[in-house]
């Protein structure tokens, strides 16, 4: 039962790290979780306890996937901002993809 509670604590700690954006601390926590899981296999655990652990692990996996999608979206948005002179991708009324390019200006600035 002690290892079960330890694993619950680790999964909750992992959840908090993901929610707080502390993704750099996850690899070390993964090692600790792996050790706790291997030790848990040597103890008596009920089906209900295993189901609870699976649900918590699935929840954390979904949070990690959402974080990865957010990071990917932010990276794409930053790339779009950096490359704004190449145009902006948009969609027509029919749903077809269209690239709107920036037309060079004939306006001349004078000091």
**Per-residue pLDDT tens for 50-68?**
999 999 999 999 999 999 9
Number of domains in the chain: 1
- Grade residue 3 by pLDDT with cuts at 50, 70 and 90: confident
Residues 6+ apart with CB under 8 A from 7: 33, 36, 37, 40, 53
Residue at 61 is within a domain:
yes
Residue at 35 is within a domain:
yes
Residue at 87 is within a domain:
yes
Judge if pTM exceeds 0.85.
Answer: no
Q: 11 burial class (0-12, 13-18, 19+ CB within 10 angstroms)?
A: buried
Range of the domain at 25: 2-95
Classify residue 12 as left (phi > 0), alpha (psi -120 to 50) or beta. alpha
Q: 14 burial class (0-12, 13-18, 19+ CB within 10 angstroms)?
A: buried
106 or 28: whose pLDDT is higher? 28
Instruction: Please state, as a whole number, how many other Cβ atoms lie within 10 Å of the Cβ of residue 39.
Output: 13
Residue at 83 is within a domain:
yes
- Grade residue 102 by pLDDT with cuts at 50, 70 and 90: low
Residue at 47 is within a domain:
yes
Residue at 44 is within a domain:
yes
The two three-digit tokens of residue 25, written as one number = 């601390």
The candidate with the shortest Cα–Cα distance to 16, out of 56, 68, 73, is: 56
Residue at 108 is within a domain:
no
CA 108 – CA 19 distance, rounded (Å): 50
Residue at 105 is within a domain:
no
Average pLDDT on 10-23 reads 94
């Amino acid at each position: 039962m002690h290892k079960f509670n330890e694993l619950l604590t680790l999964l909750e700690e992992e959840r908090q790290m993901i929610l707080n954006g502390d993704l750099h601390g996850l690899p070390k926590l993964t090692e600790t979780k792996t050790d706790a899981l291997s030790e848990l296999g040597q103890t008596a655990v009920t089906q209900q306890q295993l189901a609870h652990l699976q649900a918590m692990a699935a929840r954390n996996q979904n949070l990690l996937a959402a974080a990865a999608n957010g990071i990917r979206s932010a990276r794409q948005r930053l790339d779009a901002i950096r490359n704004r002179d190449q145009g902006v991708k948009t969609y027509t009324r029919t749903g077809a993809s269209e690239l709107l390019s920036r037309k060079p200006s004939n306006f001349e600035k004078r000091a």
